[in-house]
């Protein structure tokens, strides 16, 4: 019995295993977006075994090929030691490359990075942002979320990052709104929801 074209289409698009195989082919063929998505698959264990080292390798290929999102994520890998040795200098270089390519999230990370580097005391920075956030400062709330997201001066905590991004976004802070959109887009302590991210 033949499937109707519409049912066939739905069946193919809902098949994550096939999607993974095609991303793999695309990545192996040199497609930088496919390489970044394959990195996501290995990082999150989507239709494959979770493997941070393989995720890192695919993010690296994507970043070296010029994918600005791959460059930002590679910066995260170096910053947090995901699939590689923690290296702040390399993290900074990849954030910079991504920001220069136009990645707004990397630009925000870079601004915060410069401020932290100037202070040279992550705990002091964290407590300054915490005080500011508790006083209702929307920019401080966004920056506090950033500290929790990357574990700067405190324990890495996606739940607290998400909570402070919401507060900042609701206060009308454009940085907080962008950070919150990224949480929805990448599924950081919330269900991945690209529609909410693009609102």
In this structure, which CATH number among 3.40.50.200, 2.40.110.10, 1.25.40.10, 3.40.50.720 belongs to the domain 104-198? 1.25.40.10
Please name which of 51, 130, 127 lies closest in space to residue 84, comparing C-alpha atoms: 51
Contacts of 90 (CB under 8 A, 6+ apart): 75, 78
pLDDT tens per residue across span 108-159: 777 777 776 666 688 888 898 899 999 999 988 998 998 898 888 899 898 9
Contacts of 144 (CB under 8 A, 6+ apart): 126, 129, 130, 132, 133, 164
Domain range summary for the chain, segments of one domain joined by +: 16-102, 104-198
- CATH architecture of the domain with range 16-102: Alpha Horseshoe (1.25)
pTM over 0.75: no
- Asked if 16-102 and 104-198 have one fold, the answer is yes
pLDDT above 90 (res 60): yes
27 or 6, which is more confident: 27
């Amino acid at each position: 019995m033949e499937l109707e074209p519409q049912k066939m289409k739905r069946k193919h698009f809902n098949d994550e295993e096939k999607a993974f195989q095609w991303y793999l082919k695309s990545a192996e063929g040199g497609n930088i977006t496919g390489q970044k998505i394959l990195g996501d698959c290995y990082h999150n264990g989507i239709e494959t075994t979770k493997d941070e080292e393989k995720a890192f390798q695919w993010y690296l290929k994507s970043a070296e090929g010029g994918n600005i999102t791959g460059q930002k994520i590679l910066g995260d890998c170096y910053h947090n030691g995901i699939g590689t040795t923690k290296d702040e200098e390399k993290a900074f270089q990849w954030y910079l490359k991504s920001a220069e390519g136009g990645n707004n999230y990397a630009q925000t990370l870079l601004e915060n990075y410069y401020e932290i580097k100037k202070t040279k005391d992550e705990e002091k920075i964290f407590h300054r942002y915490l005080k500011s956030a508790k006083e209702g400062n929307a920019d401080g709330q966004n920056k506090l979320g950033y500290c929790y997201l990357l574990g700067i001066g405190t324990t890495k905590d996606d739940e607290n990052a998400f909570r402070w991004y919401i507060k900042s976004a609701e206060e009308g802070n454009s940085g907080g709104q962008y950070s919150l959109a990224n949480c929805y887009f990448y599924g950081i302590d919330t269900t991945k929801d690209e529609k909410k991210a693009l609102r």
